[in-house]
Amino acid sequence: MPRQTPPFSKSSQLSEQDRVSPIEEPIIAPEKVFRIERAGRDSNPKTSYAFKVTILLFLFTGLLAGGGFLMHYLSKHPIGIEDAPKKILPPKLESKPELPTPPKPEDAIVIEMAKKSAEQNMEDFIGARESLDALGAARWGGTFYGQMEEISRQADALYLKKEYGPASQKYQNALSVAKKLSSESANALERLLEEGNQALGEGKGKHARARFSLALMIDPASRGAKKGLARAEKAEAVARLLSSGQKNENLNNLPFAFTDYQQARKLDPESVQAQQAYERVKELISEDEFRNLMSSGLTALHRNDFDAAKASFVKARGLRPASQEVRDALGQVDQARRLSRMKRHREEALDAERSEDWDRALAAYTAALEIDPRLRFAVQGKEHSLEMIEISKRIAIYLEKPEILESDKSLEKAVKLLSEAEKKALKAPQLKARLETLRHLVQTAQTPLTITLESDNLTRVTVYRVGRLGTFVKNNLTLRPGTYTIVGTRNGYKDVRQRVMFKPGQPLRVTVICREKI
């Protein structure tokens, strides 16, 4: 596997000050080395031929001894450009050359493994950094990106010094920072969008473009960034229109200011400043016209010219559709226009109450409420009419069918009705008369009667709703007026059953005897 030349950090390409020199001492050019060697030989002409031969033989023997090992080592560990010596010096022919001590095989293996580890971590880091650079991390990464670059520079320096172990760790540390920075890209995108929108709000189009462009580097599909960038392209033109509109507004040239703001609003429909300015001037322009229309309408209303008043208020409503003032004014026109009809319905309802024609009164109050459901007199009148109609119907039932008072429950309801209707009848003579009739029926139903039952002392007598009386010859009972069922039974005889109505002024004696044998 050929030896790789380490790809140094991009930071070394940014500026001369940030570069880390791969070799601390200068490299002497080969031409200079050659000249130095020749100069050394020519400067010693008295050297004997035998001495030269001895030196050459010694060198040749050393080369043969280490040649085999070097060939094997170089085949396994090819030397790259970076393996050149830090400094080349002219040979001293006076002394014997020193041969390099070959590394031990186990040391060479460790060094090679450390180097491969360093190169792998370097490769991983470079890939991660390239991904970050594609996202523009150098512009939004802040201290994290600077920390990553500093660590990578340190790693490069260690690698060039062949300190592969520490270099590998540094590359790994730089990779960790790169991963952490990559995980922050979503937050960076959100921050850039926020800063871009803020810049748009402040009219800083150039700054906004920079923010949104950087956001698109992080996420090219970001709709917010695309939309913001499109707005930023028009931001400067919008800012000029807003400035012009403000000047016209200060000079009270409202139509010109309105035009400026309207154009700014069309350029950037989402510009809050343009929208607010447009609405503000629009409101100022319509204010005078609105007040004039309201004044004209109120004047017409005061002279009972309802048509003219309504026309002015309708125009004012066109300027301010949500104006409560306009709604109230239109309500006053409608109320005044309908006042005559409401008065007529009220008079009709009062006349119906005087004649105790509660159905007609209810109809009049209902008609008034159809004109204006908020009329207090109509609401109260309708409620009173319904109560009187209900009371009249209940009284009529008892007067038409007084026998229902025989029921304890019905009698209890009738007594309650008398109590409820007593106050209502104070101003209603007809109702009062019907109540007196009902009161008499109730009193009659509540007055007990003495009933005499006769039998043969053999027949067992039972009175429904009263109880079993047994056998007797004569038995007096105290009962409320009403209809009762009396049954007589006797063994060997056919039962007798009588349904008797007891009322004041009628016979109150009944005989119950079983006479027919079975």
Q: Which residue has the higher pLDDT, 373 or 133?
A: 373
- Residue 93 falls inside a structural domain: yes
Residue where a domain stops, chosen among 445, 468, 487: 445
Average pLDDT of the segment spanning 381-388: 90
| pLDDT of 170 | 86
More confident residue, 95 or 125: 125
Q: What is the mean pLDDT of residues 263-270?
A: 83
Q: Are residues 26 and 166 in the same domain?
A: yes
Residue-level pLDDT at 100:
55
In this structure, the answer to whether residues 393 and 484 fall within a common structural domain is no
The answer to whether residue 319 sits within a structural domain is no
Q: Which of 148, 183, 218 is the last residue of a domain?
A: 183
Same domain, 87 and 115: yes
Give the single-character DSSP code of 517: B
Would the pLDDT of 35 be above 60?
no
Q: Are residues 109 and 147 in the same domain?
A: yes
Judge whether 295 lies within some domain: yes
Supply the range of the domain harboring residue 264.
236-299
Q: Confidence band (pLDDT; 50, 70, 90) for 101?
A: low
In the predicted model, is pLDDT for residue 105 greater than 70?
A: no
- Residue 307 falls inside a structural domain: no
- Interval 8-17 mean pLDDT: 38
Asked if residue 427 belongs to a domain, the reply is: yes
Entry pTM: 0.33
Q: Tell me what percent of the residues of the chain surpass a pLDDT of 90.
A: 18
Q: What is the mean pLDDT of residues 99-115?
A: 72
| Lowest mean pLDDT segment, chosen from 113-127, 216-230, 500-514 | 216-230
What's the chain's average pLDDT? 76
Name the CA dihedral angle for 83, 86, 87, 93, rounded to a multiple of 10 degrees. Answer: -50
At 495 the pLDDT is 93
What integer pLDDT is reported at residue 106 of this predicted model?
Answer: 64
Q: Is the dihedral of CA 374, 377, 383, 389 positive or negative?
A: negative
Same domain, 409 and 473: no
Question: How far is 253 from 232, CA to CA, in rounded Å?
Answer: 29
| Total number of domains in the chain | 4
One-letter amino acid of 499: R
462: how many CB neighbours lie within 10 A of its CB?
17
**pLDDT, position 99:** 54
Do 57 and 172 sit in the same domain of this protein?
A: yes
| Burial per residue of 108-142, b for 16 or more beta-carbon CB atoms within 10 angstroms, e otherwise | eeeeeebbebbbebbebbbebbeebeebbbbebbe
Reported as a pLDDT band with limits 50, 70 and 90, residue 434 is confident
**What confidence score (pLDDT) does residue 98 get?**
55
pLDDT tens-digit readout, 417-431: 888 888 777 778 888
Q: What does 339-372 look like in DSSP terms, one character per residue?
A: HHHHHHHHHHHHHHHHTT-HHHHHHHHHHHHHH-
Note the pLDDT of residue 454.
92
Write out the two tokens for 144. 């994290």
Work out the average pLDDT over 71-88. 41
Q: Judge if 432 and 486 occupy the same domain.
A: no
Task: Place 206 in a pLDDT band, splitting at 50, 70 and 90.
Answer: confident
Do 278 and 146 belong together in one domain?
A: no
Q: Is residue 361 part of a domain?
A: no
Is the pLDDT at 167 greater than 70, yes or no? yes
> Does 81 score more than 50 pLDDT?
no
- Asked if residue 164 and residue 33 are part of one domain, the reply reads yes
Let me know if residue 333 belongs to a domain. no
* 482 in the same domain as 398: no
Based on the fold, state whether residues 409 and 504 are members of the same structural domain: no
Q: Final residue of a domain: which of 299, 316, 343?
A: 299
Confidence band for 362, pLDDT divided at 50, 70 and 90: very high
Q: Average of pLDDT values for 127-145?
A: 79
Mean pLDDT of 366-374: 89
Q: Is 119 a member of any domain?
A: yes
Position 446 scores a pLDDT of: 78
Q: Do residues 122 and 178 share a domain?
A: yes
- What is the structure's pLDDT at 471? 94
Taking only the tens place, the pLDDT of each residue in 39-73 is: 334 444 433 434 443 444 444 444 444 444 444 44
309 falls in which pLDDT band (50, 70, 90)?
A: very high
Q: For the chain, how far is it from start to end, CA to CA, in angstroms?
A: 136
